[in-house]
Amino acid sequence: MSARGRLIFACLWIVSLLIVSSLASAQGRRDPAPVISGADLGFRPEGRQGKARSGTFVVRINGEWVDAVAATKTVPATTR
């Protein structure tokens, strides 16, 4: 490969890197989804399933929204 061919190849490669980097930077981070909330309990909508809204229940702890985890409680089947 001649010196001119290498130079053209290097220039095309640099141009392709610039194009790809500009496309990648256009896909910025999304802001966190808004929370529909009361004082300390909220719902973060994430999508739809038919006509129903799907999402996650969240609680506010120290001013920050955190996913709520349901606690399971075992109940005996009999009273003996």
Mean pLDDT for each consecutive 10-residue tract of the chain (80 residues)? 90 92 69 74 85 86 87 77
Are 21 and 35 members of one domain?
A: no
Task: Establish if 78 belongs to a structural domain.
Answer: no
* Residues 4, 17 within the same domain: yes
Residue 54 confidence (pLDDT): 86
Give yes or no: residues 25 and 37 share one domain.
no
Residues 40 and 56 in one domain: yes
Domain that holds residue 38: 31-69
Among 52, 31, 33, 53, residue whose Cα is nearest residue 44 = 33
Number of domains forming the structure of the chain: 2
Domain-embedded: residue 15: yes
Question: Is residue 79 one of the residues assigned to a domain?
Answer: no
